[in-house]
Amino acid sequence: MTLSFDNKIALVTGGSSGIGLGIAQTLSALGAKVIITGRNPQKLETALASLGAEAKAYPLDVANLEELDTLFAHIQADFGRLDVLIANAGVGDIQPLGQITVEKYDRQFTTNVRGITFTVQKALPLMKAGSSIVITGSTASINPGAGMSVYGATKAALRAMVRSWIVDIKGSGIRINILSPGPVDTTSLREFLPGNVDEVIQALSDRSPIGRIGSTAEIANAVAFLASDAAAYINGTEIFADGGASQI
């Protein structure tokens, strides 16, 4: 099976680094005209250089509704439609119970839940039958681990919302799915982990039946499948890409 995104317009939020950039690069290689967003203009410019000549990049904080409106106005003007939305932008903090702060609680829910909600809602008018939305979830939605309760709750909220959204847009021909990665070897993961990073990554690898953590390319391939016409009958599903760790 060969996946193709020829003549398709794809938006990847949080696409300037890590998993998001990997997804954008994969979709571009498969023929899509890719739009990426991110909060850091310098990272965006660097990421844009790795994509196709027709790719575009826009600075964006998904928690800012005015910026979302501006983004979709640009997409309407530049492309006239959107075929694929990868709602990937998100943040996370380690905060054990007893140390949870209002600031970090609000930051995670505002970005991960409100940001995703309005990214999807504002994208819908640009999408038609056959379009696809893939939301980046996390295995933390079912197994958050110590200190990850708030982050895990944001991802679990998305799962509940998607179950309702596919009913809300029934008959539109637009699919919505969630791809939930386990630990993936990115710069942001290494900056996020506490203590001796190599030891923590080894511990995460030992927990996985496949014996290692994931790569951005592996997650990108799974997202591309869900977004593609090859997955035309898959809707409202959460797929875990974690080497089997969430299944044991």
DSSP for 65-91 reads HHHHHHHHHHHHHHTS--SEEEE----
Judge whether 158 and 112 are in contact, CB under 8 Å.
yes
Amino acid letter at 244? Answer: G
Judge whether 81 and 61 are in contact, CB under 8 Å.
no
CA angle at 112 for the pair 108 and 116, rounded to the nearest 5°: 155
CA pair distance 136, 92, nearest whole angstrom: 13
CA pair distance 245, 248, nearest whole angstrom: 6
Q: pLDDT below 70 — which residues of the chain?
A: 1
Q: What is the pLDDT of residue 196?
A: 83
Judge whether 11 and 84 are in contact, CB under 8 Å.
yes
Q: What is the pLDDT of residue 198?
A: 84
Q: What is the pLDDT of residue 211?
A: 92
The pTM of the full predicted model, rounded to 2 decimals, is 0.95
Q: What is the pLDDT of residue 1?
A: 66
Q: Which residues are catalytic?
A: 151
